[in-house]
Amino acid sequence: MSTLSPASQEIAATAARLVVEEGMEYGPAKRRAAKQLGLTGRGDLPGNDAVEDAVVEYLSVFCADTQPDELRALRALADVWMERLAEFRPHLTGAVWRGTATRLNDIHLQLFCDDPKSAEIALISRNVSYDVGSVKGPRGDLVDCLSLTVPCAALNEAIGLHLTILDRDDLRGALKPDARGRTERGDRLALQRLLEPPAP
């Protein structure tokens, strides 16, 4: 039984459609959904867990025949890049880790580096072009995010790959589970377990 108000449920459902059909992040999707519905009260915005539940429901109803294969293709591509960037202790996060990604989602890796410039140097040495932006880090400060566009043969299209550069010390608290017992990220071994075919 949902404890959300009817307005919050409506925002969550509309936001879920935006997340799946347009590849939006949860925050912007919630704000756009509220605006579309004319529900501008801040108290009506649902939490990310509610949006995630709505995304899972939307996928099961509208994308059950395509989403599992698209998710697997993105996870396999993430695995390739995690192997290439193994020296930086890569962890997968975002929709590809959580299992709600479609071909519209980008791949988000967090790199835990001794030297924040070392990942850039590694990309330059491999002639990989990238853009530098910034995102909020775990301590609330801005950290570098390197954005690449990489080919995904399985989906026959280019996929965005974002590398958030974090301090090696940030890895200590990175795997704490949330209130539902889920982790926000996983290392390559954890990803490979997700890629294993289900037992017959």
Gyration radius of the chain over CA positions: 18
CA nearest neighbour of 98 among 190, 1, 174: 190
pLDDT in tens, 2-30: 577 888 899 999 999 999 999 888 889 99
Q: How far apart (Å, rounded) are the C-alpha atoms in residues 139 and 122? A: 25
Q: In the chain, where are the structural domains located?
A: 6-62, 67-195
Tokens of 139: 């301590």
What single DSSP character describes residue 159?
Answer: E
Tokens of 36: 């579309």
Per-residue confidence (pLDDT) for residue 1, from 0 to 100: 38
The architecture of the domain spanning 67-195 is 2-Layer Sandwich (3.30)
pLDDT in tens, 174-200: 677 666 667 889 999 999 999 987 666
A 10 A CB-CB count for 119 gives: 23
